[in-house]
Amino acid sequence: MDPDHETLTIGIDLGATSVRVAAYSPPAGLLETSAFLTRISAGPLAIVDDICRNVCRLLEIHGRTRPCAGIGVGSPGPLELPAGRLHAPPNLPGWNNFPLLDELQSRLPHPISLDGDARVAALAEYALGSGKEFAVDSLCMLTLGTGVGSGIILNGRIWHGASGMAAESGHLTIDPEGPPCGCGNAGCLEAYASGTAIAKAAERLFAGGLSPSAHLDPASPLTAANLALAARAGDPHARGVYAAAGRALGIALADLINMLNLPLYVVGGGVAQSWDLLSAPLFAELHRRSYVYRLTTSGGAALQAIPGGTRVMPARLGPEAGLLGACILPLHVPPAVGPEPSGACQASRQSALH
Amino acid sequence: MDPDHETLTIGIDLGATSVRVAAYSPPAGLLETSAFLTRISAGPLAIVDDICRNVCRLLEIHGRTRPCAGIGVGSPGPLELPAGRLHAPPNLPGWNNFPLLDELQSRLPHPISLDGDARVAALAEYALGSGKEFAVDSLCMLTLGTGVGSGIILNGRIWHGASGMAAESGHLTIDPEGPPCGCGNAGCLEAYASGTAIAKAAERLFAGGLSPSAHLDPASPLTAANLALAARAGDPHARGVYAAAGRALGIALADLINMLNLPLYVVGGGVAQSWDLLSAPLFAELHRRSYVYRLTTSGGAALQAIPGGTRVMPARLGPEAGLLGACILPLHVPPAVGPEPSGACQASRQSALH
């Protein structure tokens, strides 16, 4: 009998809007998931308590017959590793210097593996999605959501860099004189291709005097999703905003291919559902800006010459990528060297911070 | 007795202008070097013959008492690995599809390790230069010469990517609307920070009507080296050209730090000798464009918070980096799986191409 049949892991996908927690076993997949709103105003310790209460419940239900191999967490960044400490995360106000790993580990009875949310999603895409489908050993995944995150898997392992801050692809410079980015810089990928940036680009257009066409319902909020509907219906401004996002993605992907020459680059997250609007300008820039891409792309004239083609495609896994990645993280990486697990489940404790 | 004392390697640094060949042993360093002009017009097979004649001579002199551990080669790119085949190298006309590894291996009696010239220089800087000094396991080195090459060392090994074409940092996009690059694209790093680009930028200025100041000798050719002299003497246009190169380097390094978060980034090659002219705009862009750099830089407010600082500095090894890297390549990487070594030294042979 495959010992995996008995293994349980717990995955935690910590988001700025909601938290998802799941029990997982390799053969069955997600056994049970729960989701709850992130109570930002209550502060990080209250949210950690919410998380641990859910983890303990899942452990009680699913851990009776299965040994738990560990607990995986995907967290927003910037995240210092292996310490597991957050540094002024833009979407989690009040979490600066919060020792997330220590706080979780002091309440939970199994070793915790913690990593960045976009890196954990890339791990899922590698192990369970397109990476598995094409049997590659390395990939890079961009996740286009509120911001733009990414994860780099090299030879089957998440690449962290010297201080756990690698793969900040959202802050690759696309145009030094481009639109402002939340990081304080201008012209970053995130300032073009995140959901937020797509909505803001349309706002700027209309604030500048352009009139939305009949395809944009004036009663609906100006979101990336609504703009995609309008673009598909023919709205030229919405199409232009998506074309600019696609061009920026193409420039960033050309940089990533020129630098790393990985066999597979995938684009996931909510905005990637508009691949139909992004892909033509994206591939046009890739062809222009990466001779590595041109030389290694199947279908090109050089197909026979260079083995190891470069694939660029939408992610196979949908919105569950982050949660699945958290679930499989303990199976792929040893837990960070940190505090001893708590002896038993503790949904809350008197924190060392207080 | 250290067995290394007896080991010999041969290094070959194949350049578009000249070829250097050396005998090397780890404790003594370079035992003997020879250099000769690259006879481009004679074609690749004649140049391979020139190389092999020199290698055989060095093997005869230095290989009598020392077992040869292998022959290392640094070659211009684009280079397909592990096949060891060149793809339309811009500085070696007539070498398209040339099977360099096969041609060398069929003439030489020891296993050959072949890699890109900038990658081999990065290996030398890692093992013998700044990488050794700071005891890092990973680094990225940019080499600013006729073009801009780079090498990425991850966990002590050269990163090649899926088809041996990684680390083409010279073609990172700095500004999508920037000056034309030899690769067919516009706004690449190489179009700002190579020696060629620096000379061309000054040419464009003066062709556009600006007058060179008294600091630029009208009788001297408009080279990067002469422009550096003029800039140091106070010529504002020459200073501006170097400032633009420094800014482009800062943007590229910010991208590389945001992506890989390595502990060390070094800049070498001839143009890096003008570090005094490049560094201020370079670091200004780094600070603006990489919060990973800001968070991980010693001296910053976050010094205590994040271990694993990011160093950016000129390379420690000078113009010998490429030759030294070729010499140590056989000691660091196993030779590519290729043809069997020739039974004995053959300075030339009837090539399979003919």
Chain B residues in contact with A80 by the CB 8 A cut-off are 305-306
Tell me what pLDDT residue B330 has. Answer: 96
CB crowding A230-268: b at 16 or more within 10 Å, else e: bbeeebebbbebbbbbbbbbbbbbbbbbbbbbbbbbbbb
Closest Cβ–Cβ partner in B160, B169, B255 for A173: B255
Asked if B248 has any chain A CB less than 8 Å from its own CB, the reply is: no
- For chain A, say whether B288 makes contact (Cβ under 8 Å): yes
Question: Which residues does chain B have within 8 Å of residue A84's beta carbon, measured at their own beta carbons?
Answer: none
Structure tokens at A151: 């994860």
Q: For residue A309, report the phi and psi dihedrals to the nearest 5 degrees.
A: -65, 155
Structure confidence at residue A217 (pLDDT): 77
Largest CA distance in chain B: 68
Mean pLDDT, chain B, whole residue set: 89
A175 in B contact zone (CB under 8 Å):
yes
B138 touches chain A (CB under 8 A): yes
Q: Do B78 and A295 touch (CB under 8 A)?
A: yes
Report pLDDT for B304. Answer: 39
CA distance B114 to B333: 10
Q: Do B165 and A302 touch (CB under 8 A)?
A: no
A259 with B263: Cβ contact below 8 A: no
ipTM of the complex: 0.90
Nearest Cα neighbor of A138 from B337, B123, B163 is B163
Shortest CA distance to B108 belongs to which of B81, B78, B84? Answer: B84
Neighbouring CB atoms inside 10 A of A346's CB total 15
- pLDDT per residue as tens digits for the range B128-140: 999 999 999 999 9
**Among A67-71, A298-302, B35-39, B47-51, which stretch is predicted with the lowest mean pLDDT?**
A298-302
Mean pLDDT, residues B32-51 taken together: 96
Q: What's the Rg (C-alpha) of chain A?
A: 21
pTM, to two decimals: 0.91
Averaged over A332-339, what is the pLDDT?
66
CA atoms within 13 A on the CB side of B306: 30
CATH 2.40.110.10 fits B3-116+322-332, yes or no: no
Question: pLDDT band at residue B334, thresholds of 50, 70 and 90?
Answer: low
Cα–Cα distance measured from residue B229 to residue B235, given in angstroms and rounded to the nearest whole number: 9
Tens-digit pLDDT profile for residues A92-120: 889 999 999 999 999 999 999 999 999 99
State whether residue B206 is helix, strand or coil.
helix
Give the model confidence (pLDDT) of A155-205 as tens digits: 999 999 988 889 999 999 999 999 999 888 999 999 999 999 999 999 988
In the chain, the amino acid numbered A249 is L
| Sequence ranges of chain B with CATH classification 3.30.420.40 | 3-116+322-332, 130-314
The answer to whether B249 contacts chain A (CB < 8 Å) is no
Q: What percent of chain B has pLDDT over 70?
A: 92
Which CATH number is A3-117+322-332's, of 3.20.20.70, 3.40.50.720, 1.20.1050.90, 3.30.420.40? Answer: 3.30.420.40
User: Touching check for A152 and chain B: CB below 8 Å?
Assistant: yes
- What is chain A's length? 354
Q: The domain A130-314 is classified under which CATH number: 3.30.470.20, 3.10.129.10, 3.30.420.40, 3.40.50.300?
A: 3.30.420.40
* B290-327: pLDDT as tens digits: 988 888 775 444 433 455 679 999 999 988 999 999 99
> Chain A: nearest CA to B3, how far in angstroms?
32
Residues of chain A with CATH 3.30.420.40: 3-117+322-332, 130-314
